Amino acid sequence: MRKQDIIANKFKRENLINIMAAYQLYYQITLGEIIEKSGFEKEKIVDLNLDIDPENVLNTMIEVINTFKKEDDFDSIFEDNMKINAMIHALKDFTLKYDELNKKENIYDVFYEKIINDQFFTLSMQVFFSEELKSRIDYWKKLISNETAKELKQSALKII
């Protein structure tokens, strides 16, 4: 499939909403798990000011499209890569912003390895993801209009 066709599809309003909702949810679930396993005081999470940057998500989408556009199972690869990227972004953001984290590199490496080897996202995380996705979709529906989706698609087409 051509890059332009893939972008036209992935940057439709409904698809953007679903991608942003899933990405944000993967990011936040990953943060929760890392916080729990690292011993970080949950009350201090607000101080770290961690959340997705929509521009990073859009850039990740374009990067994945550029890299895997010729694959027969592109949609599956796209979803897997967006999930992995969301989890790695959460890991990276947490380890960069949590200054008091002991053995930062070791913690990063351990979680990174689990994410890459598909050993991180547990069944209970998947259940939580499924339960929460609808509310995230509703949130992003309020933020992404048809006009916004159209503008984002045009920007993506210019980048490629």
Per-position pLDDT tens, the chain of length 160: 688 999 999 999 999 999 999 999 999 999 989 888 877 666 666 667 788 888 999 999 999 999 999 998 999 999 999 999 999 999 999 888 776 666 667 788 999 999 999 999 999 999 999 999 999 999 999 999 999 999 999 999 888 7
3-state secondary structure of 88: helix
- At residue 97, the pLDDT reads 78
Q: In angstroms, rounded to a whole number, what is the distance separating the alpha carbons of residues 27 and 84?
A: 9
Overall domain count for the chain = 1
Quick one: pLDDT at residue 46? 65
Instruction: Count other Cβ atoms within 10 Å, centred on residue 97.
Output: 12
Range of the domain at 125: 3-159
Amino acid at site 69: K
What pLDDT does residue 99 have? Answer: 67
Q: How many Å apart are CA 29 and CA 86, to the nearest integer?
A: 10
**How distant, in Å, are the alpha carbons of 16, 49, 90, 159 from that of 7?**
10, 31, 25, 11
Could you tell me the two tokens for 51?
A: 């959340």
